Amino acid sequence: MTDFRNDYDDADFDTTEVAPDAPLLEEVDPQAQLREAAREAEGNYAHPATDTAQAADAAREVTGDAPAGPPLHRTGDSDGAGRFSPASITVVHPEATEIETDLTQPAFRPVTPVDFTHGTGAGPYTAVLWDLDGTISDSAAGIITAMRKTFDTFRMPIPSEATLLSYVGPPIIDSFKREHLDDAIEVQHALQTYREIHDELGLEGTPPFAGIPEIIRALHAAGIPQSTATSKPESGARRVLHHYELLNEFAAITGASEDESRSKKEDVVAEALRRLDALGVDLSNVLMIGDRFYDVQGSAQHGVPCVYVTWGYGRTGEDEGAVAVVNTAAQLAKILGVQL
């Protein structure tokens, strides 16, 4: 049977490896500056080539709007060779003025059995699919910091903390598109820059949620096959799970492709099921575990019921369609039939 984990040898795995510098936009797209000039001529300031504050002032001059607040300021460090490190940027920005989204989470709800193609929602389970960010990994701080610094590197206005938090879980490429980086070359450049910054920040401030590693190990010990089903690229997912010493607990590591052509949750779930099926895993009663409506809806599209966990980054109403809601690792362990 094929093993999709691509396991690492601890002696050969270098967690300090730094991704190569993202190329300048002009290097991969010589017409970038011409497009930016054309956008400015049309009054489109979504991708300003100048400093954010200057672009905002110019836009207000056109629209007649009042100033929105103090300008953004950036500081950053260079290494000994004089190369600028995007991850060193310190961003100082005004207080967010938009209304914060209600982040109230639902209370515990026991399993309500369903009749899906690949599961009932009730145990015993034949396989378990795991979301990563917000379910296994408390990754919000690192992702938000990297997103903020990426926006600042591109001289783009920085979204509010609540907006940035909402970007934890979905494909990062979709988050850039929501902030009007619609040009394919610019989106790919932003994505590569984000990954460079995120990799440079490291994983020290990205712990697993309490009790979850123990559940994963207990499921593995009980002989229940597990796969990730994450919108994080697979290389990043492997790096995180290796850091947690959980990589070998999974039969498959399934996530977004490196170019994020496969990144939507329903596509990732489909690939996880395909890989488990190739390993001969019984898919008659699979359970998905996740913290966002992407997990609930994406798995349901393939007949897999989902347990919604509230320690992640979801918000009011995102549990709709889940077969159960759990507030603690102990509640999840009970549903899964394992001991902590």
pLDDT tens-digit readout, 309-318: 999 989 889 9
pLDDT at residue 3 tops 80: no
CB 55 within 8 A of CB 62: no
- The verdict on 189 and 225 lying in the same domain is no
DSSP string computed for 48-109: -SS-HHHHHHHHHHHH-PPP-SSPPEEE--B-TT--B-GGG-EEE-PPP-SPPPP-PPPPPB
Residues 183, 324 within the same domain: no
Say what the pLDDT of residue 34 is: 55
Which one of 201, 223, 249 terminates a domain? 201
Note whether residue 5 is domain-resident. Answer: no
User: What pLDDT does 94 receive?
Assistant: 37
pLDDT at 100: 47
Instruction: Pick 1 or 116 by higher pLDDT.
Output: 116
Residues 45 and 186 in one domain: yes
Residue 290: inside a domain, yes or no? Answer: yes
Same domain, 250 and 277: yes
30-40 per-position pLDDT tens digit:
555 555 555 55
| Position 69 in a domain | yes
CATH of the domain at 302: 3.40.50.1000
Average pLDDT rounded to a whole number, residues 19-33 = 49
Instruction: Work out the pLDDT band at 6, boundaries 50, 70, 90.
Output: low
Together in a domain, 157 and 223? no
Whether residue 76 is predicted with pLDDT greater than 70 in this model: the reply is: no
Is residue 6, in this structure, part of any structural domain at all?
no
Same domain, 133 and 268: yes
Q: How far apart are CA 54 and CA 59, in angstroms?
A: 9
Check whether residue 215 and residue 287 sit in a common domain: yes
Q: Within a domain: residue 110?
A: no
Instruction: Report the pLDDT value the prediction gives residue 31, as an integer from 0 to 100.
Output: 55
Are 173 and 283 members of one domain? no
Domain assignment present for residue 294? The answer is yes
Indicate whether 13 pLDDT > 90. no
Average pLDDT, the chain: 77
Q: For residue 21, is it within any domain?
A: no
Q: pLDDT confidence of 136, banded at 50, 70, 90?
A: very high
Report the number of distinct structural domains present in the chain: 2
Rounded Cα distance, 59 and 40, in Å: 9
Query: Are 77 and 157 members of one domain?
Result: yes
Q: Tokens 């310190």: give the residue.
A: 90
Domain end (from 201, 222, 251) = 201
Same-domain status, 194 and 277? no
DSSP state of 205: T
pLDDT interval class at 176 (50, 70, 90): confident
Residues of the domain holding 276: 127-139+206-336
* Residues 192 and 212 occupy one common structural domain: no
Query: Which residue type does 97 have?
Result: T
Confidence check: pLDDT of 82 > 60: no
213 located within any domain: yes
The DSSP letter of residue 202 is -
Q: Please check the confidence at residue 241 and state whether its pLDDT lies above 80.
A: yes
pLDDT score of 244? 96
**Looking at the structure, do residues 185 and 313 belong to the same domain, yes or no?**
no
Q: What is the pLDDT of residue 61?
A: 43
Q: Which of 201, 218, 245 is the last residue of a domain?
A: 201
